[in-house]
Structure 1
Amino acid sequence: MSDLSGLHAVITGGNGGIGLAMATGMARAGANITLWARDTAKSEAAVAHLGGLGVKAQALMCDVADEEQVVDAMARSVEALGPLGCVVANAGTAAARPLVETTLADWRGVMATNLDGVFLTCREGARQFVEQGTGGSMILVSSMVSRFGAAQQAAYAASKTGVLGLARTLAVELARHRVRVNTLVPGWTRTGLTVPRQEDERFMAATTARTPVRRWADPEEFEKVGAFLADPSQTFHTGNEVVVDGGYSIF
């Protein structure tokens, strides 16, 4: 069991789905949590849930596609809950649309959150880690779609593939500062983002049949994975892609 007592973790898009699951796992291990998200009502509920686990928790309104907001959110995060120990770049969006109907605005809208937002979050996290001189952990959340593609998801697939390349580079560049950088690659998971897919019976049947465990993941199954990736005792674990997909990628 990971011991994160006293560690401060910042998690983008952490008020629901996989983000909240990772926050929960870290909180159960003793970490204090700052959530960055845009939905105030969901954030309030998430903070109440995390606080009930006996740790400090707060939520800040932040659109990760907005540079000023990211810079400000990082400053306010550490001011309130202390030095940064882990940053999770999890916030993401998707827009299913055939390629021939995808506008440049559609493309840029997804990229702004899924790739620009990850870059900004990681840059500010890196600046904080370097200034502190304490080392730390970065977790970037990609997707199995980065490996296999998905119809009508050109921007999403491209952005999540870009996250893999960014993470590898950061792992190499930041190692000298004792900052570990790893990527979580989740398989099909029951989250708010995938609701349209879950409502498609044919799609559910096809993806479930392709998954050896014969089901989709529940977000809660990422709790201990998040705690492990944030664990400061894992000093030699960096540059890795942790695949949690029920065997989808090997079947």
Structure 2
Amino acid sequence: MTASSLFDLSGRTALITGSSGGLGLAIAEALAESGASVILNGRDESKLATSVRALTSRGFSASASAFDVCDEAAVQAAFAAFDTNGIVVDILVNNAGIQFRKPMLELNSADWRRVLETNLTSAFVVGREAARRMVSRSKGGKIINIGSLNSEVARTTTAPYTAAKGGIKLLTRSMAAEWAVHGIQANAIGPGYIDTEMNKALTSDPKFDAWVRSRTPSGRWGLPRDLAGTAIFLASPASDYVNGQIIYVDGGMLAVL
């Protein structure tokens, strides 16, 4: 196998949840650039269509599958539709997620469950449906879960997000423990502070912006495209003996005191 073929995704199909914009779309674009056919997912069909057009206008193979990752029946129906249409998902990126900031003493259980359902339970449900098919086909596959710095450390006011992302790290290891024998590699990416729409309130706060820049050895916020190389690696044959790992793309933040 040549160096270039190690990262070639030609002939593979990747489903990326929460990919109508932000990190998900950047990851979808990276996988498409490496030859994969990508399926974008989200709940807003109009936004998905716009993102699909942006990719196909560049010559990439892209389509959309609109469903709510928190609706188990909808997830199962989406995969049944893939089966009916002969669509084989070789690569799954569990990217869908939300943030909710509130001190724990003011946090109600409904908001706690909403964050856990979106950020953690959905990765289990979508991952299970993808893996069932990967196992039955006996050709393996790749599952990439999106974690966070909060998979390792906590900050105030983000308890449900931190619990969910900590869970992602060990869900990933559980997937590897059970599915590696079937040729499935399950790994995770832990982004640092990335300049996305979800973090707009933080990037526009001068005090917090200064803290991120001073706390990060690279001296800047990450960009969505900073995850591209890691995503391609974990989706490609180059990572065939990498399993159950979380790779932090954080500009060095976790490496220093």
Contact 2:92 2:127 in 1 (8 A): yes
Between 158-167 and 51-60, the greater mean CA deviation after superposition: 51-60
- Residue 149 of structure 1 corresponds to 154
1:1-251, aligned counterparts within 5 Å? 1=4, 2-80=7-85, 82-251=87-256
> In structure 2, do the counterparts of structure 1 residues 231 and 146 end up closer, same or farther at CA, with 3 Å as the change threshold?
same
CA distance in 2, matches of 1:212, 1:78: 46
| Structure 2: segments with no counterpart, 5+ residues | none
1:221 maps to amino acid: D
> In structure 2, do the counterparts of structure 1 residues 79 and 150 end up closer, same or farther at CA, with 3 Å as the change threshold?
farther
Q: CA deviation at 1:197?
A: 1.2
1:109 maps to amino acid: R
2:12 maps to amino acid: L
Normalization by structure 2: what TM-score? 0.94
> In structure 2, do the counterparts of structure 1 residues 188 and 140 end up closer, same or farther at CA, with 3 Å as the change threshold?
same
For residues 166-193 of structure 1, what are the alpha-carbon distances to aligned partners after superposition, in whole Å with 9 as ceiling and x for unaligned?
A: 0001111101100000010000001121
CA distance in 2, matches of 1:85, 1:235: 13
Q: CA deviation at 1:249?
A: 0.5
Runs of 4+ in 1 over 3 A off after TM superposition: 77-81
CA distance in 2, matches of 1:80, 1:192: 34
CA distance in 1, matches of 2:153, 2:180: 29
1:223 maps to amino acid: A
Normalization by structure 1: what TM-score? 0.96
Contact 1:137 1:232 in 2 (8 A): no
Identity of aligned residues (%): 36
Q: CA deviation at 1:79?
A: 4.2
| Structure 1: segments with no counterpart, 5+ residues | none
For residues 137-166 of structure 1, what are the alpha-carbon distances to aligned partners after superposition, in whole Å with 9 as ceiling and x for unaligned?
A: 000001102212121100000000001110
**Paired positions, count:** 251
> In structure 2, do the counterparts of structure 1 residues 19 and 78 end up closer, same or farther at CA, with 3 Å as the change threshold?
farther
Between 15-24 and 51-60, the greater mean CA deviation after superposition: 51-60
Q: CA deviation at 1:24?
A: 0.6
